Amino acid sequence: MRVSWGTGAPRPSSRPFGFPGSRTRGGPMPDRSFSFRRAMLWLALPLAAFGVMPESASAQYFGRNKVQYERFDWRVLKTEHFDLYYYPEEEPAAREAARLAERWYGRLAGVFGREFFERKSIIFYADQSDFQQTTVVRGLIGEGTGGVTEGLKTRVVLPFTGNWEDTDHVLGHELVHVFQYDVLQDRRGQGQGGASVSDVPLWMIEGMAEYLSLGSYSPLTAMWLRDALARDALPNIRQLSRDPRLFPYRWGHAFWAYVGGRWGDQATTRLFARATQIGTEPAILETLGVEVEQLSEDWKASIREAYGPVIERRQTPQAAGTRLLPRDEDDTDYYISPVLSPDGSQVVFLS
């Protein structure tokens, strides 16, 4: 998975959809399961996405070198539940990050209703350049990756961003993944069979990490929902698993915000745990007491209720003015970063 996060996140809103007014911070493809493991083979994360990188992903980088430009003098800062690895230049930031990590642990342990079986490692790098040199995970790490959680030892690896809100968000998101892995390890230890994380769709995994680290509202998620509603293209829950064009982070976040607002945060973690045992749709029926078709309709109705009035009041670009730039039939041209001249008579842009 790859993934994103927040400071002082209160509990998500109790509204049945987590969008306007909610308390903040806190053509389909063929009919086949688009599972977590399959998704790992194609998902290239944009800057807004951060997360868990599978070891198998390194195959795509065969023949390319991951260069270590520096040797890091690693130190360990021990807290109640974590071993935080850092180097001396990071020490002030590492001590603040240790406080944030324990705060996230307290929140997430309450939501998941469980404690760690063993101490977990969090490895901090001073910046993105240092982070890209990590050997904790194989394969190259792109500039758009904000953090990873490797599955073998459930170690979290991330850089400091220079912005505590972003760093806290990434940290919280990744620690959700650690708890998710912990749920699976608990089941393996008890010899339980059934489904596994590979049978849980990526939107459930990443969406939960977004919901529990951001709360019920995110401007990015709201933007995706408004756009889909304006185009009359709201997906149902089955489409989230089958259509790779539906970005799992944003749509998964929206789904969990609805479930958490309607049934409570504990229902989200119960649903996730049960989905790893019996699959997504049976888990929805057993945990929430509603068929997936009805849940889809209820969810879409809440989105229409939240954003329908917003869209009705908006003025479209076509109504607001006249198009000045040409548009090719194949839509391959890009016009970005426009800036008006001081007198407003000219515009400079990148093409």
Q: In Å, what is the CA distance from 331 to each residue of 244, 326, 334, 339, 350?
A: 21, 10, 8, 22, 16
Q: Which residues pair with 86 in a beta bridge?
A: 75
Q: Residue 142 — pLDDT band, cuts 50, 70, 90? A: confident
- Global confidence as pTM: 0.77
Q: What are phi and psi of 80, to 5 degrees?
A: -60, -35
| Cβ atoms 141, 148 nearer than 8 A | yes
| Cβ atoms 253, 214 nearer than 8 A | yes
The CA distance from 348 to 351, in Å, is 10
Q: What are phi and psi of 155, to 5 degrees?
A: -95, 135
Query: Which pLDDT tens digit goes with each residue over 145-172?
Result: 999 999 889 999 999 999 999 999 999 9
Query: What does 27-72 look like in DSSP terms, one character per residue?
Result: -PPPSS--BHHHHHTT----TT-B----GGGGGGGTT---------
Q: Residue 5 — pLDDT band, cuts 50, 70, 90? A: very low
Q: How far apart are the first and last CA of the chain?
A: 33
Does the structure show a pLDDT above 60 at 306?
Answer: yes
Strand (E) or helix (H) holding 86:
strand 82-86
Average model confidence (pLDDT) for the chain?
82
Q: Which residues pair with 124 in a beta bridge?
A: 158
Does the structure show a pLDDT above 60 at 127?
Answer: yes
The CA distance from 345 to 87, in Å, is 52
Q: Could you tell me the domains of the chain? A: 36-313 (3.40.30.160)
Among 185, 200, 244, 280, which residue's Cα sits nearest to residue 27? 244
Q: What single letter denotes the amino acid at residue 238?
A: R
Q: Supply the pLDDT for residue 331.
A: 63
Q: Supply the pLDDT for residue 19.
A: 44
Among 84, 93, 92, which residue's Cα sits nearest to residue 156? 84
The CA distance from 202 to 241, in Å, is 8
Strand (E) or helix (H) holding 337:
strand 336-340
Class of residue 162 by CB neighbours under 10 A (exposed 0-12, middle 13-18, buried 19+): exposed
Q: What single letter denotes the amino acid at residue 334?
A: Y
Give the number of other Cβ atoms within 10 Å of residue 248's Cβ. 25
Q: Which residue has the higher pLDDT, 320 or 54?
A: 320
The CA distance from 101 to 82, in Å, is 8
In the structure encoding, which two tokens stand for residue 141, read together?
């790490």
Does the structure show a pLDDT above 70 at 22?
Answer: no
Could you identify the residue written with the tokens 């642990």?
105
Which residues, in sequence order, are CB contacts of 235 under 8 Å at separation 6+? 228, 243, 246, 251
